Amino acid sequence: KLDFAGKLAKRLGAPVREETVHAVDRVNLSIRKGEVVGLVGESGCGKSTLGRMVAGIMPPSEGTVLWRGQDVRSLNPAEAREAKLRTQMIFQDPYASLNPRMRVEDIVGEAPQFHGLVPARGFDTYVDEQMRRAGLDPAFKKRYPHQFSGGQRQRIGIARALAVKPEFIVCDEAVAALDVSIQAQILNLFMRLRQELDLTYLFISHDLSVVEHLSDRVVIMYLGRVVEQAPAEQVFARANHPYTVSLLSAVPRIEARKRAFTTVQGEIPSPLNPPSGCHFHPRCPHAHERCKVEVPALKEIAPGHFSACHLNDRA
Ligand code: SF4
C-alpha cells in the first residue's frame, strides 16, 4: 500500500495518501504435478507477487492458495511444514539470497540439518550429492559465495533448494541476471532436474523466449490479470491476445513470423491507477470503445486455450 518513501513520510508524521494496489486481481491458476508453467509479463504486472503467494511467502489479502487441493490456511502444523519444505523458491539475484558469511556446505546443508532430513553422519555425503546435482564440484564446498561466478552462485541456490527434497519450485527470473550462454546452461539444468526428480515448476520471466522451450503451459499477465493462457506450442504458434502478439514480436527468431510485426507501445501504466475496462487498451492497436469500459472475461477459445479480449466476441 505504501512504498518506502511513503512509509518513511508516515513515520515522520507527514501526511500521506495510502492506496491499495491490486498487484494480482481475479487470477485463477492451477498447476498440475509434473507440469512446467511459464508465467510471463513485463515488470510490474504482478507475476512475482503471484509467485510469492503460490510459494507461501506472501499470503493473499483475498482468495485462496491450495496445496494438494487443500486450503493452506487449514493445514495442521505438520502439513504446513511439509508444504513449506516441498515448495522452494529460486530468485533472480542468487548473491542477495546467499549469506556471504556462510560456506557453501553450510548454505546447502543448513535447512536439511535443521529439519532432520539427514543424519549427522551422512551430512557430508548429502551436501556433496546436492552440489553435484546442481553441477558444482563438492571440492569447493568450503568456499564462500563471493568466490563463485554468477552462474555458479545460482547453482548454489539450486543446490540449497534441492537439499530439502522439493516437489515444486518457483523460479522468479532465475536466469535474468546471467549471460545468455550461462542462461542456457541453467535452463538445461532445470530441465534435467525435472526429469531426474519429477519436479513441478512455476517459471516466472519477463522474456517469452526463456520459457518457450521449457514450459508445458504459458500464462501471460498484464497489470495483475491473466490475459492469455494456453499450452506452450499454441501460444507460440497461435497467440490470440494483442498483448501476447506484441510480446512475441519482440522475441528475435530465425524464421519469420506469419503475423504482422508490432511491438508493445508505451510504458506499462501504474498499478496504482490502472486503466479502466481492459487494462491494455491505451497500448492496444485494436482498442475500441467497449475496451475502455468493460473488463474482458478470460474465455476458452480453443481446448485449453484461454484469452481475455473483446475481439473474440466478434468472431
Ligand atoms: Fe485490445 Fe480491446 Fe482486446 Fe483489450 S479487449 S486487448 S483493448 S482489443
Rounded average pLDDT over 271-295: 93
In the numeric block, the cell 530441465 is attached to 191
Would you say residue 117 has pLDDT above 60?
Answer: yes
Distance CA 219, CA 235 (A): 9
Distance CA 165, CA 176 (A): 25
Q: Is 291 in the pocket of ligand 1 (CB under 6 A)?
A: yes
- Alpha-helix runs per DSSP H in the chain: 4-11, 47-54, 77-86, 94-97, 104-114, 123-133, 150-162, 180-197, 208-212, 232-237, 242-249, 289-293, 311-314
Mutational test site, ligand 1, from 307, 309, 312, max ligand atoms within 8 Å of CB: 309
| Residue 289 dihedral angles phi and psi, to the nearest 5° | -55, -45
pLDDT of residue 259: 47
Residue 256 has a CB neighbour count (10 Å cut-off) of: 7
Would you say residue 158 has pLDDT above 90?
Answer: yes
Index of the ligand 1 atom closest to the CA of residue 290? 2
Question: Could you read off the pLDDT of 207-225 as tens digits, one per residue?
Answer: 998 998 899 999 999 999 9
Lowest mean pLDDT among 135-144, 268-277, 289-298: 268-277
Rounded average pLDDT over 117-135: 93
In the reported structure, the alpha carbon of residue 32 is separated from the centroid of ligand 1 by a whole-number distance in angstroms of 30
pTM to 2 decimal places: 0.87
Q: Is 112 in the pocket of ligand 1 (CB under 6 A)?
A: no
Start-to-end CA distance of the chain, whole Å, equals 40
- Range among 16-20, 26-30, 89-93, 106-110 with highest mean pLDDT value: 106-110
Would you say residue 5 has pLDDT above 90?
Answer: no
Rounded average pLDDT over 282-290: 95
Domains along the sequence of the chain with CATH: 32-207 (3.40.50.300), 216-315 (no CATH)
- The answer to whether 162 and 194 are in contact (CB under 8 A) is no
User: Does the ipTM exceed 0.95?
Assistant: yes
Torsion region of 302: left, alpha or beta (phi above 0 gives left; psi -120 to 50 gives alpha) = beta
Rounded average pLDDT over 136-162: 95
In the reported structure, the alpha carbon of residue 217 is separated from the centroid of ligand 1 by a whole-number distance in angstroms of 22
pLDDT of residue 157: 95
Mutational test site, ligand 1, from 221, 244, 262, 280, max ligand atoms within 8 Å of CB: 280
In the reported structure, the alpha carbon of residue 295 is separated from the centroid of ligand 1 by a whole-number distance in angstroms of 9
Any residues with CB less than 8 A from the CB of 218 and at least 6 apart, and which?
Answer: 37, 38, 39, 40, 208, 211, 229, 230, 231, 232, 235
- The answer to whether 249 and 263 are in contact (CB under 8 A) is yes
- The answer to whether 66 and 247 are in contact (CB under 8 A) is no
Would you say residue 260 has pLDDT above 50?
Answer: no
Beta pairing partners, 307: 228, 299
Question: Could you read off the pLDDT of 7-57 as tens digits, one per residue?
Answer: 556 566 665 555 666 678 778 899 999 999 999 999 888 899 999 999 988
Average pLDDT, the chain: 88
Would you say residue 1 has pLDDT above 60?
Answer: no
pLDDT of residue 230: 97
The sheet that has 217-222: what strands, in order across it? 87-90, 168-172, 200-205, 36-40, 217-222, 225-231, 305-307, 299-302
148 or 61: which leads in pLDDT: 148
C-alpha triplet 291, 296, 297: angle, nearest 5°: 175
Rounded average pLDDT over 101-128: 92
HSE of 165, CA atoms in CB hemisphere, 13 A? 9
Would you say residue 256 has pLDDT above 50?
Answer: no
pLDDT of residue 263: 62
Please report, rounded to a whole number, the percentage of residues in the chain having pLDDT higher than 90: 68
Rounded average pLDDT over 84-106: 90
Rounded average pLDDT over 70-83: 92
Distance CA 59, CA 228 (A): 24
Would you say residue 167 has pLDDT above 60?
Answer: yes
In the reported structure, the alpha carbon of residue 312 is separated from the centroid of ligand 1 by a whole-number distance in angstroms of 9
DSSP states along 60-107: -SSS--EETTEEGGG--HHHHHHHHHHEEEE-S-HHHHS-TTS-HHHH
Index of the ligand 1 atom closest to the CA of residue 243? 6
Greatest C-alpha distance within the chain: 69
Rounded average pLDDT over 268-272: 81
